[in-house]
Structure 1
Amino acid sequence: MRRSAEMQGAGSSAVRLLLLSCCVCAAAGYPFRTPLDLDVTPRVTVLSSGLQGCRRFQSSAANYSTMLLEADSERLYFGARGAVIALNASDISASSALTIEWEASPEQKRQCLLKGKDNKTECFNHIRFLQRFNSTHLYMCGTNAFRPLCAYIDEERFVMSSQPEEGRDKCPYGPTTGYTALIIDQQMYTASQYEFRSFPDIRRNSPSPTLKTEDAPTRWLNEADFVGSALVRESVSSSTGDDDKIYYFFTEKSQEQTTTYSHSRVARVARVCKGDRGGRLTLQKRWTSFLKARLTCSLPEYDFHFNMLRSVFVMPGRTPQDTLFYGIFGLEWKNVKASAVCRFSLTEVQEAFQGPYMENQDSGSKWKEYTGKIPDPRPGSCITDSLRARDINISTSLPDDVLNFVRRHPLMSQQVQPTDKRPLLFRRTTDYTHMAVHTIQGLDGLTYHILYMGTDEGWLHKAVEIEGQLHIIEEFQIFEEPQPVNNLLLSEKQMSVYVGSPSGVVQLPLSNCQRYTSCYDCIFARDPHCAWNGAHCVDVMAQTNRSTLIQDIQQGSRGCENTQEDVMVRSRSVRVGDDVLLQCELSSNLATPVWTLDGSELQGYGLHSGFRTGTDGLLIIEARQDQSGLYTCYAVENKIKREPSHPTRPLSSPTQICSPPRNMEAMYLSLITILGGLCVVLTVVLVYVGFCLRVGNRGKYSLRAAASAYPNNKRQNRNRKQHRNSAHMELKTISSHCNGNGICNGGSKQHNGEIQDGGFLQIVPGEAHLTPNKEPPPPAPPLPPTPQHSSPECVFPNGLSATLPSVLRRMNGNNYVLLRQSESENTSPLCYSFAEELNRMLEKRKHTQLTPRPDESSV
């Protein structure tokens, strides 16, 4: 029996080693290794059940993708499938919603089906455009089951004020076609692939003059997929008499010829002048100011190039020149989830449009930089004071050689680089879909940009930009059922963020400072909205007197040195040989647990150390007498080690990690080969170990609850019998509160020297000494019933006791399957420990034939 138990222990150790090796190889073989300072982890995770101040709206409509916020009237408009809805912006869950039903006719749906379209997604009227037209009316356009229509809305009565009009030049045919549109001075500027077989186009629609992009002899747009557009009024305070410009953002098929790397699709920014009227003969009814340049969002040193532009947000500045463009980028590989956020300045974009041009001598070759003579005035420029001085007051007065050059050279050679030449953020395993940004001034006098980013699975990330990097403050699970975020809007007046999705609309507060219940949690969050007032974490915007508030956005560590936290105490008795988990569930994903035993930090958590550490706490394996003591869990975050009732002190800097190899493909192939070989070896070893365990089926392994005081004489007798076979010790546990403090506190406190139960754990030695038994031991009790007749509360067919743990958790980084102990003390006296059962078997071995049972201890 001893040999089979040893074989089982050795087999378990071998399995743990192989599992650890496979997990390490799998992690290394993941097709991304990124700079640690960019692959940011959200500090706090909030599930949908924990959302505070959340309001929701749902109706019979679906696909809430188009949003319009009117701050003055406190109206929030949503365009959905077959309906336009007006909500109260202060509370979208209120019953005052107004609806305009606008469904496609049955005949049009039938025609849509005849075109081979999907009658579950495409053959409906999806509202793709909804904006203000003038002071009294809104304007909307819908796909109308692949026959677009547009109509005006009387805002006051919220009804259609006219019959729908033709919309095929203003709205795409399908619900998912890339599309962007603006109404500027009652003129509509759109960009999309309008008809099924048409080329993508940027247009200015009625009233005249209507303009569009050129498609011959040089096609200006190459399978473009538009994601956004913006008006920048560069004429305001312009010293040159410049014109306003409309910027378009899209992804298209690549045209460049480069020697470094090549991609089939690239991100672009294009611009046209608002006052453009086209050419007189050359480029008649075509843009004379259309130019485009490449947007780069990459890490060349790591061979990461994010070419797919998913969304863009335009952040106006104090002057037009201070305008910023935030973009969400993805990888070209469709089966890999990853996102990057890059920020561009208007100055960088303007410099690209003032740089050299690209040309294509032969339609079958790639584009390369143009080195010839450039006509005067500069092709693609807007009308300025210098041109007006030469009697060129309108684009129709431009010379033909300038217009011919524009026709053949729409692409610029200089690429637009992001701020600091690198992304603000990179997230693997996350696909961001939309974002919104607003600014706020911190208590330090600096202006901070706060980003709200929605994902394809219904999560919302709140981040703050600090010195060119993003710190993700929180992540919220907006929807229990995974679904993409279709749109985002911010309202500083309502202090709300609005999220549109296929199933409904959600309203959340811009901040939720009361979530942080301690000074350190409030400071560690680094949220510009929040500050500590000495007793609570409060919203800065709601405070008139800010002189006493504490906030540290830059470092997230200063201001709480003199604060103290209560120490929570809890005790537990554990038998020698049992496994026990000391819980230390940290509220912050960025905090690291550090454990001490009697004031000395635990060093090493190897296979033979007797300890395992993870995100849930410290696991003591087969507890020994010499492991008794006072266990303390500290939370380390932002280089601060938080000690209960003591000032904080900084820790040393983390160890740096080497950069990945440059030859990524060779590394992937090698790692895949190694991983495959390890899996084959693991399979063989598991089969062998399983065979050995079945042969030695009398060696059992079970986890039992802590040995508290038993309430009846039967349990006391069991304790006396067990005392003859193994030593005893008592584990008391103490830690700090976890909920919102970054350090694990439990639900009990020490008052007047008394310990109240509840909370998380730490250990103090030995008060559970048993009274020696002076009476002769009672005779051995009868054998327990066979498995077929055992009580379900006692022994299961697999030999495990009824006090088996109820929760399976994987310890972080140790690949150890942890069975959490049940704290129930209502265990039947017929349930015996393994040691007791072994002793009884030895006493009865001459009189009883043991019945083997299947061994399932390697769960």
Structure 2
Amino acid sequence: MSAGPAHLLTTLFMAAAAMGYSSRRSATDLDATPRTTVTFDELSGVRRFKAHTLNYSTLLLEDDRGILYVGARGAIFALNSSDVADGSHHTIHWEASPEKRMDCLQKGKNNKTECFNHVRFLQRLNSTHLYACGTYAFHPLCAAIDANRFMLPSHFEEGKEKCPYDPARGYTGLIVDGGLYTATRYEFRSLPDIRRNLHQRPLKTEESPLHWLNDAEFVTSVLVRESKDSPVGDDDKIYYFFMERAGEETTSFFDKSQVARVARVARVCKSDVGGKKILQRKWTSFMKARLVCYIPYYEVLRSVCSLDGGGWASTVFYAAFTLSAQWRTMEASAVCRYNISAVQRAFEGPYMEYQDWARKWSRYDGAVPEPRPGSCITDHSRRKGYNSSQDLPNSVLDFVKLHPLMFEEVKPAGGEPLLVKKNVAYSQLAVDRVQALDGRSYDVLFMGTGDGWIHKAVVVNSGIHIVEEVQVFRDLQPVESLVISHNQRSLYVGAASGIVQVPLASCTKYASCYDCILARDPYCAWDGRACCTIATTDSTGLVQDIQSGNKGCRSSSGRGSLLWKNRTVLQGDDVLLPCDQRSNLARAVWLLNGSEVLGTGQDRLRVGVDGLLVTDTLPQHSGEYRCYGEEQGLRTLLATYSLTVLPELPRSPTAAPSPHAASQTTNDMKVAYISAIITLVVLCTVLSIVLLYVSCLEKRKGKYVLAEPRPASVELQTVSANCLRKGHREEEEEELTYPDGCLRIIPGEAPTAATSPVKELAVAVPPLPPPLPAELTNGVGALPNVLRKMNGNSYMLLQQQEEPLASPLYNASFTEELSKILEKRKHTQLVEKLDESSV
């Protein structure tokens, strides 16, 4: 863990301890690492469904019928739960009408995301019909759908009190014994509300003088059958999990001026029918309590799932939290487990009361009327003549009206979270309970992330072991829904782009006994030859170790013998010996000829995540290399190599030269360089004498004029291909234009290896000849005004001159002579295409 996130997580734990929530483990202990990582391209056994729509977020699985119902944007699908991609699905198209979409657009809503019919509710109504509700472009509608015919009815029901108008609004709903229990903000400007509709007496939460719900955003709802085998004749209860603005004192540990949002759990009784005079058509059993996990007041509740284990008394709730917006410097998630007994204790404890003068909630220490406010009707109440909520006395109903909040908080089991994961935002949870070979039951959590991954984890004692992380969507998108099928042994994942069916376990990917045991996957066990699924195999002879993950394998090595790979390199070269560590929890261990390689800093050996790097190899690096993955005290053989380092090849067949011979070789090279320089100087001297002689001859003929010597400014002017035009009168030549200009070549003073004993003589500029044919110029006239290097020794500045030059010494004989010279240079000095070395 990096220093920044680790420091922040430690700060969170310190704050929790200061407020009374101690933790026995540090933040780094709680931050579990997924053992294996499966990317999108490595997936196998996955099936996908996608149609011409979006937002496949509402799922209803009927496992016994083999159907997965999916509510999406403008459509409802019935998929084959054994294979969602087999093409046998049925579709109901339920689009919003053009009139409603136009009305939605006129309200200022987004015509690309909001002004559609988003199916938000889909449940079984009775043995023949489904019940569905959609936002219908901000005009909610509901419909009873014939499940056999799978068609929309001709008549729709008003959905304003059953379904939210906003597709992004938090919402939850259940159909329990014919009653529709929903919670959301229903209408455009309405307050959040928990309601019951359909075939039972309609009920809702109270709004005056106190709002029972303070800007609530609902997450989920859970039915707990507490009436089943109840010794006190209790009633079934519906639990609601949501976020809302807090009004308690000391609502923020870090900034008391801020109004914090807290996680809540509320409950109502299924048989509640409201009061007779007070709380008419209102809940008489509504109570709520704070739900804490990690740091109070700085948690955002994202998802809740439940598991009863065969009886309501063993019900547990798993909740996923993320950090609130105050912690913008990091991203982290926490998972907590709550027992139903902890929730009951909170609702049976002290109440809170709102103080108008302080504008906050504080503990109520006054008298509590009988029967206990907010409780369901039980056998004890019936014996006193209270057979329904309408029989309750006014004192009880008045107390309920003003005291909906409980003082005690619902704390996680063990007093701390099961998992705190940095750099992850969990968006959905699903849980399954698996009977392992050791006779214990283990809860397996499937945690969807905000970027399209699924973390599969097993709860072991008071912690979590993450078996694997799987990328189920290539494009980043939140996992919006998760449903587990025991019959199909599949996990169904709903998101914006489609539905994915993932196996609950892929045991065959574990290639050895060690791999199978170290995975600690309750679904998998080793049968002596392969890793298999427990549910499909006789448990006789199977090996599994969920508690420690290191017992049961007989062999001393995880993978027996592997083929040797030969590597041969020259001395001084670097070589990488790859070793793929499948497990993120394993430590790479290398053995060289049976002795362990310590790693970084040891004799040019570097152990990394990709393998062993041997730098600047020596003959003593030759030998046998074995790579192991060490995990939980077990070592799995992963790769074997035979490395041979050859001595450096000799530079000559003779023996290596002695120091005296090396010195002699150096002296010989110096003599060769000096000889070359002297030769160049002599050649330059001879060439200068020849040029001087030729100049003198031409002077006698009247063709050249020897001017006064100028050490640095004498210019030798010649002609470009398009410089001059015919003309003899000076006034006519002044009017002539030469678009290409004239090329003036100015030799510079270039440094040489040795100073020439003869100085260069400055020669007067010869008269400019007429333009030459294009084929004789070799492109010289097109050269740019840049400084070019010439053969690596001297420089020439090539620049264009705009004004024309004329000379009275111009005649045909000079033209013929110069043409011959240039024709000769064309075939000896110049190349067809000019570059830096040919000028």
Q: Shorter-normalised TM-score: what interval?
A: 0.7 to 0.9
Distance between the aligned counterparts of 2:332 and 2:793, measured in 1? 58
Distance between the aligned counterparts of 2:516 and 2:381, measured in 1? 57
Distance between the aligned counterparts of 1:631 and 1:563, measured in 2? 18
> More displaced, 354-363 or 149-158?
354-363
The two structures have a TM-score, normalised by structure 2, of 0.73
Q: Which residue of structure 1 lines up, in the alignment, with residue 546 of structure 2?
A: 553
What are the equivalent positions in structure 2 for 1:321-340 lying under 5 Å apart? 321-333=313-325, 335=328, 336-340=330-334
Q: Which residue of structure 1 lines up, in the alignment, with residue 273 of structure 2?
A: 277
Residue in structure 1 matching 2:403, options 391, 399, 409: 409
**Is the aligned partner of 1:536 residue 2:430?**
no
> Cα distance 1:536–1:25, how it changes in 2: closer, same or farther (>3 A)?
closer
**Is the aligned partner of 1:601 residue 2:628?**
no
Distance between the aligned counterparts of 2:261 and 2:491, measured in 1? 33
> More displaced, 612-621 or 622-631?
622-631
Q: Which residue of structure 1 lines up, in the alignment, with residue 182 of structure 2?
A: 190
> Cα distance 1:24–1:471, how it changes in 2: closer, same or farther (>3 A)?
closer
What are the equivalent positions in structure 2 for 1:802-841 lying under 5 Å apart? none
Mapped contact 1:54–1:506 kept (Cα < 8 A): yes
Mapped contact 2:260–2:297 kept (Cα < 8 A): no
> More displaced, 336-345 or 529-538?
336-345
Mapped contact 1:305–1:331 kept (Cα < 8 A): no
**Is the aligned partner of 1:578 residue 2:578?**
no
1:183 maps to amino acid:
I
> Cα distance 1:370–1:526, how it changes in 2: closer, same or farther (>3 A)?
same
Q: Which residue of structure 1 lines up, in the alignment, with residue 509 of structure 2?
A: 515
> Cα distance 1:253–1:526, how it changes in 2: closer, same or farther (>3 A)?
same
2:528 maps to amino acid:
G
Mapped contact 2:178–2:200 kept (Cα < 8 A): no
Mapped contact 2:131–2:144 kept (Cα < 8 A): yes
1:488 maps to amino acid:
L
Residue in structure 2 matching 1:744, options 633, 638, 653: 638
Distance between the aligned counterparts of 1:527 and 1:327, measured in 2? 22
Q: Secondary structure at the match of 1:36?
A: helix
Q: Secondary structure at the match of 1:257?
A: coil
Residue deviations 1:725-752 (CA, integer Å, cap 9, x gap): xxxxxxxxxxxxxxxxxx423xxxxxxx
Residue deviations 1:488-530 (CA, integer Å, cap 9, x gap): 1011011111111101111111111100011100000011111
**Is the aligned partner of 1:247 residue 2:252?**
no
**Is the aligned partner of 1:635 residue 2:629?**
yes
Distance between the aligned counterparts of 2:30 and 2:793, measured in 1? 61
Distance between the aligned counterparts of 2:618 and 2:34, measured in 1? 38
Mapped contact 1:356–1:412 kept (Cα < 8 A): yes
Mapped contact 2:289–2:405 kept (Cα < 8 A): yes
Q: Which residue of structure 1 lines up, in the alignment, with residue 146 of structure 2?
A: 154
Residue in structure 1 matching 2:605, options 608, 611, 617: 611
Deviation at 1:563, TM superposition (A): 5.4
Once the two structures are aligned, what percentage of the paired residues are identical? 51
1:448 maps to amino acid:
Y
Distance between the aligned counterparts of 2:250 and 2:8, measured in 1? 29
Distance between the aligned counterparts of 1:171 and 1:353, measured in 2? 28
Residue deviations 1:667-690 (CA, integer Å, cap 9, x gap): xxxxxxxxxxxxxxxxxxxxxxxx
Distance between the aligned counterparts of 2:269 and 2:89, measured in 1? 39
> Cα distance 1:402–1:28, how it changes in 2: closer, same or farther (>3 A)?
closer
Distance between the aligned counterparts of 2:244 and 2:5, measured in 1? 33
RMSD (Å), alpha carbons:
2.5
Distance between the aligned counterparts of 1:773 and 1:30, measured in 2? 65
Distance between the aligned counterparts of 1:771 and 1:575, measured in 2? 12
Deviation at 1:542, TM superposition (A): 0.6
Greater CA radius of gyration, 1 or 2? 2
Distance between the aligned counterparts of 1:260 and 1:128, measured in 2? 34
> More displaced, 507-516 or 261-270?
261-270
**Is the aligned partner of 1:396 residue 2:390?**
yes
Deviation at 1:600, TM superposition (A): 2.8
Q: Secondary structure at the match of 1:349?
A: helix
1:269 maps to amino acid:
V
**Is the aligned partner of 1:499 residue 2:493?**
yes
Distance between the aligned counterparts of 1:519 and 1:318, measured in 2? 33
Residue deviations 1:800-848 (CA, integer Å, cap 9, x gap): xxxxxxxxxxxxxxxxxxxxxxxxxxxxxxxxxxxxxxxxxxxxxxxx9
Residue in structure 1 matching 2:359, options 359, 365, 376: 365
> Cα distance 1:170–1:147, how it changes in 2: closer, same or farther (>3 A)?
same
What are the equivalent positions in structure 2 for 1:370-385 lying under 5 Å apart? 370-385=364-379
> More displaced, 143-152 or 205-214?
205-214
Q: Secondary structure at the match of 2:424?
A: coil
Deviation at 1:850, TM superposition (A): 12
Q: Which residue of structure 2 lines up, in the alignment, with residue 317 of structure 1?
A: 309
2:542 maps to amino acid:
L
Mapped contact 1:296–1:306 kept (Cα < 8 A): no
> Cα distance 1:280–1:54, how it changes in 2: closer, same or farther (>3 A)?
same
Deviation at 1:30, TM superposition (A): 6.6
Deviation at 1:637, TM superposition (A): 0.4
Mapped contact 2:619–2:647 kept (Cα < 8 A): no
2:450 maps to amino acid:
D
What are the equivalent positions in structure 2 for 1:437-456 lying under 5 Å apart? 437-456=431-450
Q: Which has the bigger relative contact order, CA under 8 A and spacing at least 6?
A: 1
Deviation at 1:106, TM superposition (A): 0.8
Mapped contact 1:577–1:622 kept (Cα < 8 A): yes
> Cα distance 1:509–1:604, how it changes in 2: closer, same or farther (>3 A)?
closer
Task: Structure 1 unaligned segments of length 5 or more: list them.
Answer: 1-22, 643-742, 746-760, 778-847, 852-859
Residue in structure 2 matching 1:590, options 568, 577, 585: 585
Q: Secondary structure at the match of 1:521?
A: helix
Residue deviations 1:691-738 (CA, integer Å, cap 9, x gap): xxxxxxxxxxxxxxxxxxxxxxxxxxxxxxxxxxxxxxxxxxxxxxxx
What are the equivalent positions in structure 2 for 1:643-792 lying under 5 Å apart? 743-745=637-639, 762=641, 764-766=643-645, 774=653
Deviation at 1:107, TM superposition (A): 0.9
Q: Which residue of structure 2 lines up, in the alignment, with residue 649 of structure 1?
A: none
**Is the aligned partner of 1:74 residue 2:66?**
yes
Distance between the aligned counterparts of 2:251 and 2:358, measured in 1? 18
Q: Secondary structure at the match of 2:126?
A: coil
Distance between the aligned counterparts of 1:508 and 1:113, measured in 2? 39
1:292 maps to amino acid:
K
Mapped contact 1:340–1:424 kept (Cα < 8 A): yes
Q: Which residue of structure 2 lines up, in the alignment, with residue 307 of structure 1?
A: 299
Q: Secondary structure at the match of 1:113?
A: helix
Q: Secondary structure at the match of 2:29?
A: coil
Q: Secondary structure at the match of 2:211?
A: coil
1:556 maps to amino acid:
G
Deviation at 1:323, TM superposition (A): 0.9
Distance between the aligned counterparts of 1:850 and 1:377, measured in 2? 110
**Is the aligned partner of 1:298 residue 2:294?**
yes
Q: Secondary structure at the match of 2:395?
A: helix
1:637 maps to amino acid:
E
Q: Which residue of structure 2 lines up, in the alignment, with residue 203 of structure 1?
A: 195
> More displaced, 409-418 or 45-54?
45-54
Aligned residues, how many?
639
Distance between the aligned counterparts of 1:224 and 1:445, measured in 2? 42
1:617 maps to amino acid:
G
> Cα distance 1:25–1:240, how it changes in 2: closer, same or farther (>3 A)?
closer
